[in-house]
Amino acid sequence: LENGRYGILVSPGDVAAICNGILTLLDDYTAAAEMGLRAGARAKQLWDVGTIASNLIQLYGSLGDSRAR
């Protein structure tokens, strides 16, 4: 993940950073909307049912190939 590209990254439990991140997004609606669009597109790319199925087929195929050796 890239901070500022798909969202704002903060350390777990860092309340001040979470507050600052929220304020940053509230102050710049355009940047927040762009991050949201990029994050949505990235999620669709990574977690699309077809992508997951294809990855699983490749994984299972590679397991079969390694056992045949």
Residue 3 has pLDDT above 70, yes or no: yes
Q: What is the pLDDT of residues 12-57, one digit of tens each?
A: 999 999 999 999 999 999 999 999 999 999 999 888 999 899 999 9
pTM for this entry:
0.66
pLDDT at 30: 96
Q: Are 39 and 6 in contact (CB under 8 A)?
A: yes
DSSP 8-state class, residue 6:
T
pLDDT of residue 36: 95
Contact 10, 17 (CB under 8 A): yes
Residue 64: per-residue pLDDT = 79
CB-based contact 21:10 (threshold 8 Å): yes
The DSSP call for residue 7 is B
